[in-house]
Amino acid sequence: MVERAAVGKGAGTAVAIGLGSTVCCRDAEGEHRCTLVVPADANPLEGRISVASPVGRALLGRAGGEEVDVATPGGMRPLTILSVHGGALF
């Protein structure tokens, strides 16, 4: 998996994405909202993404305003993290 981080401008405390975080992100298809969960609870159609999936692994530890490239079976997928709710403060 190739990742690139470009931290966006923003004020306040950043929130690191972790298990249970709800993330809003944007890709070429539009904006998406998902919650990171353990693999047994994953259901992408309901917005629950496994932390073990390519998207989940790329998002872990990141913060709003960052960009990541996710290696998926269909090729590279750039994502921009728009916001994070729940997670660890840093």
Answer whether residue 62 shows pLDDT above 60: yes
Which residues neighbour 3 within 8 Å (Cβ) at sequence distance 6 or greater? 58, 68, 69
Answer whether residue 74 shows pLDDT above 90: no
Answer whether residue 7 shows pLDDT above 80: no
Q: Cα(52)–Cα(80) distance, rounded to whole angstroms?
A: 19
Average pLDDT, the chain: 85
Bigger pLDDT: 90 vs 54: 54
Model confidence, pTM: 0.79
Which domains does the chain carry?
A: 15-89 (3.10.50.30)
